[in-house]
Amino acid sequence: RLLAWILALGAVLACHRLARHLLEPVPAAAAAFLFAASPLALQYARFMVTEMPHALWTTVALLGAVRLLGDKRPGVAFAAGAATALAVASKYLGGLAGLAVAWAWAVRGRDGVAPRWSGPRAAAQGALWIALGFGAGLLVGMPDLVANHASYLA
């Protein structure tokens, strides 16, 4: 139960950080407060063994996508891919955050500046960093994936 509360606190902090990238300070604090005051986070967090990791890693993956919009460095791409994989490892629905990461990889930054990987080779390298992060996140989030891969296909 303590781990679920810690993950819930992490989800609230990640929600605030994500909102802070998109909003002014007061609405960002309100977004974090509303998430913290929601029944999922407040009343049921200690029982939600799968929901809290999913909320945390999906929010972190979305934060990675927002960061990738303005900062096309390999480390940011790797972190966004890893957070997406951890969201998938917590619940398969977390893979939807990968759509935001893929979109952030493909479009220009929020300020209209061309992405760092503007050419085809550089774009492929950016995609490779996202894929490497995704692979590393899957190995951390699902350590038995390699040994028991058949059980995941069923």
SS (H, E, C) 42-65: HCCCCCCCCHHHHHHHHHHHHHHH
Instruction: Give 135's contacts (C-beta < 8 A, 6+ positions apart).
Output: 81, 85
112 or 51, which is more confident: 51
Cα 41 to Cα 31: distance, rounded to the nearest angstrom: 13
pLDDT of 114 > 60? The answer is no
pLDDT of 41 > 80? The answer is no
47 or 131, which is more confident: 131
pLDDT at 105: 86
Q: How confident is the model at residue 117 (pLDDT cuts 50, 70, 90)?
A: low
- For 42-73, write each residue's pLDDT tens digit: 666 566 677 888 889 999 999 999 998 888 88
Q: Mean pLDDT over all residues of the chain?
A: 84
pTM for the full predicted model: 0.84
Average pLDDT over residues 18-38: 90
Cα 135 to Cα 143: distance, rounded to the nearest angstrom: 11
